[in-house]
Structure 1
């Protein structure tokens, strides 16, 4: 067939490619990257669609074949992609699934009770990022076929050597054609998808990793008992395809035993349960409108866990068989429930275990634990298409409750073996706790002793006396004037002071050698005492809190930003652990004049709005105040009592904890505000300048 002319480009092409073009322009948003990792993610999307069919009880075999030409075929024995016409679009179900974003059978509860592919973009994203994609569907006694080139449906004119992505292609201009290419026996159903990744999208050298594929197939076979996962690697022309087959009928119990790195201290405990919750979700009504509806959900929890003689923790978590390597609410619920249960058990057996007032921590209980946490629920809320973090809030409480229920039954069992394992386990976690406390006490004593005796510490450091790292605080103060006030104001038992001169180096622009050569940056790293960069050791930090105390003006905000840039770049674990704070000194001091011999009242306000609200309240109450009102421009303007009361006293001060809820967004903002490229920062300032007023700067 002849290639289509430019005149044949019609509005129909626009409707098909409108959404998929966005995928091609920003592939990282959907698959994470365009290297081998992104290539594998596309393959997982297609495989997971087949696995969802198996989860629903449709089909017990999934095959993955890697071809010598770089393409891959995924086949299953599921129900097959629908081939009838979807009424809203007038397209076949196959074309809808493979060309429309957010389309599929997993948005409602009727087709899939619990599925891994929930955003309705997996198949269409793979199609958009493929140079060619062929799909065959066995359904209703026939085999249907359809082909796509970079997301656009059409027809390839293949030669005798078989299908090729560079074969002549003719797109459909008026109506699509779902071809009938064969017949199958009655009752035979399934789907076969073969695609060639687009070299225009993926970088050179991106390839399917056979070992990762085998590991994922093995993992899936563990999570779906009775499912055959068959992997054929036929990329070598000189040898027969290498075939690996996985099937496990024991489920996640076998998975936990497979993952365990050490000999067992307990048997593998299996805890199963379910819970219900309600959530408000948009649902299509009979008129096609999205309506917020309260929906009752049922969630299943399945946990396999065993403790070994070692100390390493192996935790794998899954949602509808999709791995969540960064955890989520199900992992949070498991860890919180586990810690709460063991704390209660240790407290109940405190006399036998001789624990005193010491408290278990999470690492004490997780030491030597191998656990697989799986939950199945309809329409889980993942953070992003890569589905690495589960965000559905009610899951946490349900997992914690079902875990507690299962562990309570295990510890209350009258079985001799269960009693022996429960007693052994309590001894193990208490031993971990005592070792941790002993090691920490020794480490902190030695660290503080060595640091204080080390003459390399900056002479301007005004240290504290306490050896308790968790209680100690380091105030990084702006200038000698603030130091002069803060030194007599502080509690020298646990509050240390480090003054810095003006604005430190902008480390976002500077090299590592420049940063280490800067006196102020080097002093801060030395005083905190935990190193920098990849070698940063949070456990070696000398202070439990690092508090940035700068003036309440524009220069003070700039200095605080520079300090945060240093911490973000070279001491990020301090932020992740919630140890970094910004002091919030007051802006105004209002002295309310009381009548008679009653002493005057001093009130501090922290913004212009708060000040005006206070003054209006005083006038309404017919109370007088000293005029003019004192406006603090710097910390040095306060006397020691005022600074202690407003900014340093733990019982009265206001601190703002600096945290990173989204490291990628934070890094992007630091690059914008503090990086080497001036043009984006200039554009940001110009765009935001229209919203800035003198009053807003003073708030």
Structure 2
């Protein structure tokens, strides 16, 4: 939507145009300068807070906190200070303390105000506009601290410098003195102060100690009633920063005692400090087993840009300056297909990307395309070209660029806009990744081959899914010859009410064929234990007959290209024997679904059949047929036997223990396991994807040592009677 000239003028100069109500009958009206409202200083921030912090809900509250924290982090980045403490107080305030140099307390010559008052009351004022105070930081606009001050009902700042502690207080951006009476509160009497008197010495500081402490209360006249500090987001930000600034110690303390938080029962503190860099961060973020080691690429290049520069008289002149851009990338591919890319500019997160992310993707795609083309015959890639999603599948990466005065789109700094950064990141990544992919080191060569095979496998999977989608319509085995011959399909075209039973072996298939309802129940037999896809590559998985048949029958593709809407069945039911082998097969099937068809699990469409463990034949007498009772656990069996003895009823010995589905006849299987009126199904759900990922990696992954340790440590919980030996 285009803004007219009044809107552009108002946005730039903080002028509000007041328009009189429209009358039905036209009449003369005067339009003079008296109709203009001029917002001075921090008034504009309070009038239009969304322009500066994005919103006035919890996101806006957290953005204000980020501004204060980032100022302390910038001190650490510049080499001053190694500790930052954040405290969420019970009275609703938050305090951020650092051991940096401390905000200047001397007089700024142009305004005649102390440095503290300039930083907290003047928009676009600070030490990050040049002059060598800061080299490459995230806070560039000089509005962070002053915006937080304007949107706070009270803000107190203390500075340790020159063995003294200085303090200044503000009420909604106005400096003055609060009549506290001992406990700081935002709603106590307030007296505005002017000039140097606003900054006062309140104590002595340890010799040589410097630092800044900021405590503020978010103004409830501005923020919504439900806006609050998010402790989990704060922890995530602190952890992220500790990875990006090696050696920096961040302590988070929650004293609010809010129900449902770690500090519900008392003050809770967590400390983050990592001496490694973004390589450690990649290891922390990676959701899957490693296909490669963490590859670290670094480089820099210079560029020129034309920017307005103020001369000694305060006049702005367009000047061409030379900038330096440093690129730091850590990346590794895993066995999965999800992409986790985190991007930063001067350690400020850019969740919506920007020119640096565009450059990363271009450099990655360009280099991998070149390598795949050069090795097309070996990789059996054909003439098809890989796309961005193929290259990003299974990739975990952290991208951080550092440069002076980056151009962000908006004060929230979510998108980098500096054009020259794109080509620099592309150049650095292309050069370094090309060296890695063509390395003669044995380990690196093996990992490079694995990456290229994975990328080509993703390409083939995507192309297959596209072809399938273009020709897709619901078909059964009678209508098409593309389905596996061993599939016993159903007649119904209604996906929502159709069911696919995965059965173990041909013997179970024979019984299930007679027990099923052919209208809506399909059968697919598998031969024993399928491939463990947690340890296998995508290529091996697709080459495995059982896995390929399952993917083909379900008809929705696999991995990143999986399309839930294309699935041919409303339910997928694993029907395996009730023994250790059956449990193992079920686990392998779940691993396949979790790794390559996860949306099917997330949608609650994967089930495990629960066949009975025992059959008790109760003797009825009187010429009537005996009654059959089925139990599903040892406990239930003992309860049934106890009840029968109490009722004086007899039952045949021995009680039948089912170990395989083939031991049942068709009527028994239908009644106990397949008939919706009587059967019991266990729905498979993923309540905690990360916990499930760790469990699959531990129990089914290629790392033997952690699994061995797990088995040894939990051996005492194993019931030997449950082992089918």
Q: 2:180 aligns with which of 139, 158, 176?
A: 158
Q: 1:193 aligns with which of 214, 233, 253?
A: 214
Kindly report which structure 2 residues correspond to 1:444-483, keeping only aligned pairs within 5 A, or say none.
Answer: 444-446=470-472
Kindly report which structure 2 residues correspond to 1:395-544, keeping only aligned pairs within 5 A, or say none.
Answer: 395-446=421-472
2:154 aligned counterpart, secondary structure: strand
Name the counterpart of 2:45.
23
Q: 1:83 aligns with which of 89, 105, 108?
A: 105
Name the counterpart of 1:57.
79
CA RMSD of superposed structures (Å): 2.2
Q: CA deviation at 1:89?
A: 0.5
Does 2:339 match 1:313?
Answer: yes
2: CA distance, partners of 1:179 / 1:318: 38
Q: CA deviation at 1:538?
A: 14
1: CA distance, partners of 2:163 / 2:196: 24
2: CA distance, partners of 1:55 / 1:448: 59
Name the counterpart of 1:118.
140
2: CA distance, partners of 1:239 / 1:408: 54
1:37 aligned counterpart, secondary structure: helix
Does 2:164 match 1:137?
Answer: no
Q: CA deviation at 1:539?
A: 11
1: CA distance, partners of 2:60 / 2:401: 25
2: CA distance, partners of 1:193 / 1:119: 19
Name the counterpart of 2:255.
234
Could you list the per-position Cα deviations for residues 505-535 of structure 1 after superposition, in whole angstroms to 9, with x for gaps in the alignment?
A: xxxxxxxxxxxxxxxxxxxxxxxxxxxxxxx
1:51 aligned counterpart, secondary structure: helix
Kindly report which structure 2 residues correspond to 1:357-372, keeping only aligned pairs within 5 A, or say none.
Answer: 357-372=383-398
Quick one: structure 1 residues 244 and 439, their matched pair in 2 at CA, closer, same or farther if it must change by over 3 Å?
same
Name the counterpart of 1:178.
199
2: CA distance, partners of 1:59 / 1:308: 37
2: CA distance, partners of 1:449 / 1:200: 61
Name the counterpart of 2:528.
none
2: CA distance, partners of 1:407 / 1:198: 50
Q: CA deviation at 1:104?
A: 0.4
**Contact map agreement 2:129 2:405 (CA 8 A) in 1:** yes
Does 2:122 match 1:96?
Answer: no
Could you list the per-position Cα deviations for residues 246-303 of structure 1 after superposition, in whole angstroms to 9, with x for gaps in the alignment?
A: 0111111111111111000000111111111111111111112111111111111111
1: CA distance, partners of 2:73 / 2:194: 34
Q: CA deviation at 1:239?
A: 4.7
Q: Provide structure 2 residue ranges, at least 5 long, that are not aligned to the other structure.
A: 1-37, 259-263, 477-562, 567-725
Name the counterpart of 1:660.
none
Kindly report which structure 2 residues correspond to 1:670-681, keeping only aligned pairs within 5 A, or say none.
Answer: none
Q: 2:230 aligns with which of 199, 209, 222?
A: 209
2: CA distance, partners of 1:79 / 1:88: 22
**Contact map agreement 2:53 2:412 (CA 8 A) in 1:** yes
**Contact map agreement 2:113 2:195 (CA 8 A) in 1:** no
Could you list the per-position Cα deviations for residues 289-333 of structure 1 after superposition, in whole angstroms to 9, with x for gaps in the alignment?
A: 111111111111111101000010011101111110000000000
Q: 1:304 aligns with which of 308, 324, 330?
A: 330
Could you list the per-position Cα deviations for residues 164-221 of structure 1 after superposition, in whole angstroms to 9, with x for gaps in the alignment?
A: 1011100025664210111223321100000000010011121111111111100000
1:446 aligned counterpart, secondary structure: coil
Q: 2:276 aligns with which of 241, 250, 257?
A: 250
Could you list the per-position Cα deviations for residues 435-479 of structure 1 after superposition, in whole angstroms to 9, with x for gaps in the alignment?
A: 1111101211226999xxxxxxxxxxxxxxxxxxxxxxxxxxxxx
**What TM-score, normalized to structure 1?**
0.61
1: CA distance, partners of 2:134 / 2:473: 57
**Contact map agreement 2:252 2:269 (CA 8 A) in 1:** yes
2: CA distance, partners of 1:204 / 1:174: 35
Quick one: structure 1 residues 174 and 112, their matched pair in 2 at CA, closer, same or farther if it must change by over 3 Å?
closer
2:472 aligned counterpart, secondary structure: helix
2: CA distance, partners of 1:205 / 1:435: 46
**Contact map agreement 1:309 1:368 (CA 8 A) in 2:** yes
Does 2:100 match 1:74?
Answer: no
2:165 aligned counterpart, secondary structure: strand
Quick one: structure 1 residues 174 and 247, their matched pair in 2 at CA, closer, same or farther if it must change by over 3 Å?
closer
Quick one: structure 1 residues 413 and 297, their matched pair in 2 at CA, closer, same or farther if it must change by over 3 Å?
same
1: CA distance, partners of 2:194 / 2:165: 24
**Contact map agreement 1:109 1:378 (CA 8 A) in 2:** no
**What TM-score, normalized to structure 2?**
0.59
2: CA distance, partners of 1:173 / 1:226: 41
Kindly report which structure 2 residues correspond to 1:556-575, keeping only aligned pairs within 5 A, or say none.
Answer: none
Could you list the per-position Cα deviations for residues 551-583 of structure 1 after superposition, in whole angstroms to 9, with x for gaps in the alignment?
A: xxxxxxxxxxxxxxxxxxxxxxxxxxxxxxxxx
Quick one: structure 1 residues 439 and 125, their matched pair in 2 at CA, closer, same or farther if it must change by over 3 Å?
same
Could you list the per-position Cα deviations for residues 78-117 of structure 1 after superposition, in whole angstroms to 9, with x for gaps in the alignment?
A: 1111111111100000000000000000011511111111
Q: CA deviation at 1:356?
A: 2.0
Name the counterpart of 2:379.
353
**Contact map agreement 1:276 1:297 (CA 8 A) in 2:** yes
Q: CA deviation at 1:19?
A: 2.2
Q: 1:291 aligns with which of 317, 326, 332?
A: 317
